[in-house]
Amino acid sequence: MVISAIALWVASAVVDGIDVQGGSTGEKALTLLVVAVIFGIINAVLKPVIKVLGCVFYIVTLGLIALVVNAGLLMLTSWVAGKLDLPFHVEWFWPAFWGAIIIGVVSWLLNLFVADDEN
């Protein structure tokens, strides 16, 4: 969850059109943590369903459709955050597209440095 929040923060800092508004740094951090939870729930519930239903598209596009799906899930996260009155907003598709790529890369990089506790 913290890694996702950091990745969301990086995306909001780098991509115009992804905004986290709020007063203090603490309020923004709390907003990012809550949005990370929402994003995680949406990904956990919808992404497997989308992969199963859109299996042909994943094969035909060699997986590139995943970029569009991730952008859509980020836009859905923004919509849910708006309904919950959280100050997190994604303007439209292209900021969501680039933001999803940045979130994926930053999450992957940060997960490389986190110890695996399964041993």
Confidence of residue 56 (pLDDT cuts 50, 70, 90): confident
Whether pLDDT at 63 is above 70: yes
Residues forming a β-bridge with 19? 89
Whether pLDDT at 117 is above 70: no
Share of the chain above pLDDT 90, in %: 36
Determine phi and psi for 4, rounding to 5 degrees: -65, -40
Average pLDDT over residues 55-82: 88
Cα(105)–Cα(87) distance, rounded to whole angstroms?
24
Cα-Cα-Cα-Cα dihedral sign, residues 37, 58, 69, 50: negative
Average pLDDT over residues 6-23: 88
Closest of 107, 108, 47, 111 to residue 77, by C-alpha: 47
Confidence of residue 118 (pLDDT cuts 50, 70, 90): low
